[in-house]
Amino acid sequence: MNLILLKPDEANNGGLPGADVRAVHIRDVLRAKAGDTVCVGVASGQRGTALLLGISTAQISWEIAWEKTTPSPFPLRLLVGLPRPQTARKILLECASLGFAEIHFFNAEKGDPAYAQSSLWHGGETKDLLHKAAAQAFTTLVPILARHASLDEALQRVAPAATEGNTRRVFLDIYEAGEALDKTLYAASSILIAIGPERGWSATERNTLRGAGFAGAHMGEHVLRVETACVAAGAIALAALGQWQRHGTR
């Protein structure tokens, strides 16, 4: 953990119980002592520096000096066809680390319906993965996560919100797209990227996306894994948005 991420109701508690996994990390992994400082933050809120006042197996106590500003989400959203659970876990970790503001999975026409029945989607694992990724990335920004029954349903939820300023809507398609992704994102102020499932888009989905104002784009000749495509597209999009800057300079 590069950042100890707290729930909003924990921010003013003055510390953590000694058995909490974050307290164990501070005590046994960081080997911090009283008088040391650790970086903390509130999920979707401020970051700060915690001065450790006391450390024991029963309790870690601290005093936090909060930063004056709260990080703002990147204007970057992702639609992705529901993949197998192990792939979805990678997408959640990597895209949360990169800084996607929203991650929307949808049941694609060529996807396997059984993927939606995974325990990943029916417990607290997705939330844990997103928080783990944010803590590792030294950010308090936890993406909004949603799952939809179809591409149409996902677009009804996401597309209306992606209309501010010079918004680009693109879908990755190595087979039918004629322009490279970086060329389609020129001068964008916000970006909505759609990535198909492991078996690709159906003809109906391509037509649906074009009808919703999406332009097809590619990232070269190589057919990428879904999780690789998400990371590569996210990196290109962040560069186009001018977001490759250090904290405090944006």
Picking from 66, 86, 119, the residue at the C-terminal end of a domain is 66
Cα separation, 100 vs 73, whole angstroms: 8
Mark whether 227 and 112 lie in a shared domain: yes
Digit-coded pLDDT (tens) for 27-43 = 999 999 999 999 999 99
Assess if residue 36 is contained within a domain: yes
Assess if residue 245 is contained within a domain: no
Vertex 73 angle, CA 84 and 162, to 5°: 75
User: How many independent structural domains does the chain possess?
Assistant: 2
Mark whether 191 and 98 lie in a shared domain: yes
Cα separation, 88 vs 111, whole angstroms: 13
**DSSP structural state of residue 28:** I
Report the pLDDT value the prediction gives residue 177, as an integer from 0 to 100: 87
Mark whether 41 and 143 lie in a shared domain: no
Phi, psi (degrees; rounded to nearest 5) at 155: -65, -35
Contact between residue 5 and residue 135 where contact means Cβ atoms under 8 Å apart: yes
Cα separation, 112 vs 3, whole angstroms: 36
Mark whether 60 and 90 lie in a shared domain: no
Cα separation, 146 vs 182, whole angstroms: 26
Report the pLDDT value the prediction gives residue 163, as an integer from 0 to 100: 52
User: Considering only CA atoms, which of 169, 191, 173, 167 is closest in space to residue 77?
Assistant: 191
Report the pLDDT value the prediction gives residue 249, as an integer from 0 to 100: 46
Amino acid letter for position 20? D
Report the pLDDT value the prediction gives residue 102, as an integer from 0 to 100: 96
Domain of 233: which CATH number? 3.40.1280.10
Assess if residue 176 is contained within a domain: yes
Mark whether 172 and 58 lie in a shared domain: no
Cα distances (Å, whole numbers) of residue 70 to 110, 131, 144, 193: 41, 17, 17, 25
Contact between residue 158 and residue 167 where contact means Cβ atoms under 8 Å apart: no
Report the pLDDT value the prediction gives residue 225, as an integer from 0 to 100: 95
Tokens linked to 29:
């992994």
Q: Name residues of the chain where pLDDT drops below 50.
A: 162, 249-250
* Strands 47-55 and 37-42, sheet pairing: antiparallel
Mark whether 96 and 205 lie in a shared domain: yes
Put the strands of the sheet holding 4-6 in their side by side order. Answer: 4-6, 37-42, 47-55, 59-66, 15-17
Mark whether 43 and 90 lie in a shared domain: no
Assess if residue 88 is contained within a domain: yes
Mark whether 38 and 116 lie in a shared domain: no
User: Considering only CA atoms, which of 173, 192, 197 is closest in space to residue 237?
Assistant: 192
Picking from 43, 66, 89, the residue at the C-terminal end of a domain is 66
Assess if residue 54 is contained within a domain: yes
**DSSP structural state of residue 50:** E
Report the pLDDT value the prediction gives residue 4, as an integer from 0 to 100: 94
Q: How many CA atoms lie within 13 A of 73 on its CB side?
A: 18
User: Considering only CA atoms, which of 129, 160, 159, 132 is closest in space to residue 145?
Assistant: 129
Report the pLDDT value the prediction gives residue 161, as an integer from 0 to 100: 55
Report the pLDDT value the prediction gives residue 250, as an integer from 0 to 100: 45
Mark whether 38 and 109 lie in a shared domain: no
Assess if residue 128 is contained within a domain: yes
Please, where are the H alpha helices in the chain? 21-24, 85-98, 125-136, 151-158, 181-184, 203-211, 226-240
Picking from 25, 48, 66, the residue at the C-terminal end of a domain is 66
Range of the domain at 8: 4-66
Mark whether 177 and 144 lie in a shared domain: yes
Report the pLDDT value the prediction gives residue 244, as an integer from 0 to 100: 72
Amino acid letter for position 204? T
